[in-house]
Amino acid sequence: VVVAILAAMYGGAEGQNCGSLYPAISFWLTPCLQYSAPLPPFGITFYPAFYPCCAGLGSLLSYTSYTNHTLDCLCVQSYLSSASGFYSTLNTNTLQSLPSSCGVTLPFTVSTSFNCT
């Protein structure tokens, strides 16, 4: 099931424009989605161990230190937009606060609507 979801997310046009970065972003950010989206079928928010999310954000920061921040930002937005189709809603305030909660300062905001340019 997880492979099918990731394949569907990667298959979008936006994901293909991000090339090899898109699967990595998916891997790094997927653990964070559970903190910003109610999970079906009960609409409750699930909070397991926070470490995988923080580790993923740390990996994203390490990667973005050497790359094009605008492209990175656009790829993160593309992933979050794709992921929102698998979750009823993504709480953008929670998404934006996750890096600081993990002690990570990214060169862009983790959001579906941040101006990346």
- Report pLDDT digits (tens) over 42-67: 554 445 557 888 899 999 999 887 77
8 Å CB contact between 111 and 77: yes
Closest CA to 33 of 82, 87, 73, 71: 87
Could you give the residue ranges of the DSSP H alpha helices within the chain?
Answer: 2-10, 13-17, 21-33, 51-64, 69-83, 92-101
- Per residue in 3-47, pLDDT (tens digit) is 334 434 444 434 446 877 888 888 998 888 877 766 555 554 445
Closest CA to 22 of 33, 40, 10, 34: 10
Closest CA to 17 of 70, 57, 66: 70
Residues 7 and 110: their CA atoms lie apart, in Å, by: 22
pTM of the model: 0.72
